[in-house]
Amino acid sequence: MSHDDHAAEPIRGLPELPPSGERILWQGAPHWSTFAIRAFHVRKVILYLAILIGLRAIFTYGETQSLVTALASTSFLLTLSVTAVGLLLLLAWLTARASVYTITNQRIVIRFGVALQMSVNLPYSVIESASAKLYKDGTGDIPLTLIPPERVSYIILWPHVKPWRWMAPQPMLRGVPNARRVADILAKAMAEDQKNRAENPDQAEAADTASAPQTHRQAAGETA
């Protein structure tokens, strides 16, 4: 029997049904290999472990003058290294699989978490600006600057945050495929929202109350 870890979600990536008038403009998930490289730094880990293995082989060869012995001395370290990299790749895949980014005409929602599903709700009223860093493979990162005093937890939201911004954490749509198109969708949605707020301040205030920034938690496998 199949089991859905997100069975309680009325719509994929959202903890509850959107209010009347809210439309989903885009939904997507991080590319897992991009996560592995840029968030979990798999390439750097592989390079570091390769250097350790190489140094071990050189040191042993210098002592024994035997290539066979030198290679044999690295077998245990090589096994541990392959296991560590494999686990890191698995964690990157699970993290990407559990993540969903949603852009609507009123907010951004980041759903994340492997064992404990959580979602962060970010109305455009609390977002000061958004930028985009595009990569040659078509993926990209879209960090969001929040209007003070609004803030998110760097530790809880990682890796969906801009690196090293500890004091003022910036939520980030990370490793997004076709990032240029996604950035354009977000830019248009934010511009339209700002225009609507200027034209209908009372309606904007009511919308802010209905979709105030908040974090929803749900254990994996929990149902409504």
Tell me the pLDDT tens digit for each residue of 29-86. 998 888 899 999 999 999 999 999 999 888 887 878 787 787 888 888 899 999 999 9
pLDDT of residue 117: 85
Half-sphere exposure of 4 (CA within 13 A, CB side): 10
Give me 211's structure tokens: 């979709």
Q: Based on the number of CB atoms within 10 Å of its own CB, is 21 exposed (0-12), middle (13-18) or buried (19 or more)?
A: exposed
Give me 68's structure tokens: 């066979």
pLDDT of residue 101: 96
Block means of pLDDT (10 residues each) for the chain, 224 residues, are 50 82 92 89 94 89 79 87 94 93 94 87 92 91 92 91 89 93 94 82 54 47 36
Half-sphere exposure of 135 (CA within 13 A, CB side): 13
Residue 75: its H or E element: helix 75-97
pLDDT of residue 114: 84
Q: Which residues of 85-104 are buried (b: 16+ CB within 10 A; e: fewer)?
A: beebbebbeebbebbbbbbb
Backbone torsions φ then ψ of 10, nearest 5 degrees: -70, -30
Report H helices in 137-219.
Answer: 154-157, 179-199, 201-210
pLDDT of residue 5: 45
The domains of the chain are located at 24-30+101-219, 37-94
- Type of residue found at 174: R
pTM, entire model: 0.80
- Distance, in Å, from the CA atom of 223 to the CA atom of 80, rounded to the nearest integer, reads 38
- Distance, in Å, from the CA atom of 211 to the CA atom of 221, rounded to the nearest integer, reads 25
Give me 159's structure tokens: 């890796």
Average pLDDT of the chain, as a whole number: 83
Give me 107's structure tokens: 């907010």
Asked whether 140 and 180 are in contact (CB, 8 A), the reply is yes
pLDDT of residue 206: 52
pLDDT of residue 203: 56
Closest CA to 28 of 142, 125, 136, 133: 142
